Amino acid sequence: MAREDAEPGTVRPGGRTARVRESVLRAAGDALAEHGFDGLDLADVARRAEVGKTTVYRRWSTPTGLIADLLHDMAEQSSPRTDTGSLAGDLRANARLVVTTLTDPRQGALFKSVIAAATCDPRTAEALHRFYAIRVTEWSGCVTDAVGRGELPPGTDPDEVIRAVSAPLYYRLLASGDPLDEAAADRAAEAAVAAARAGAYVR
């Protein structure tokens, strides 16, 4: 039985409920990519998912509740970190994955919509922060491994290194409009490696 005090959309379902959740989250992602946060309507999501409106309203209550669950699901479904055996190889793989995601027609538009919503909606911001915290933690092991191999100084902050890889890529997406391509990914990774080796991220 689902907990009555649980946050809407956060109880892990099974069976038919899982299929309904999958359909609704897919429909929500499509709607966000097409119309942005301001155009996200629960009735429209229900129609796209071919489920009853009452089901969507009862389970997620609000668009922000739906976005929170969507981000939680995206974090769980994201690709695991790559282990190439070197820090440079691992961070290059991370940067290229970020670029692939942000340049995908659907995923890129979805992230832009959610990030825009997070600037003015605290609950969406909290869900977005939680999503990125999960992804940073997933990849921070490559920095910990690099410290263990002697590639980086002891005390290097793994999370800060991973954030340093993606930061310039998100800047290109949201601010500068400069090309987001493999070359940009590789430069971001190389810069993070150089800074980390120089001790810039030692706590």
Classify residue 175 by its DSSP letter: I
Task: Report d(CA 158, CA 147) in Å as an integer.
Answer: 9
Per-residue pLDDT band for 120 (boundaries 50, 70, 90) equals confident
pLDDT for 1: 31
21-37: pLDDT as tens digits: 999 999 999 999 898 88
202 forms beta bridges with: 156
d(C-alpha 140, C-alpha 156), whole Å: 11
The H or E element containing residue 125 is helix 122-148
Q: What is the pLDDT of residues 92-111, one digit of tens each?
A: 999 999 999 999 999 899 99
Question: pTM here?
Answer: 0.83
> Is it the case that residue 164 has pLDDT exceeding 70?
yes
Computed over every residue of the chain, the mean pLDDT equals: 90
DSSP 66-123: HHHHHHHHHHHHSPPPP--SSHHHHHHHHHHHHHHHHHSHHHHHHHHHHHHHHTT-HH
Output the CA angle 140-132-138, nearest 5 degrees: 30
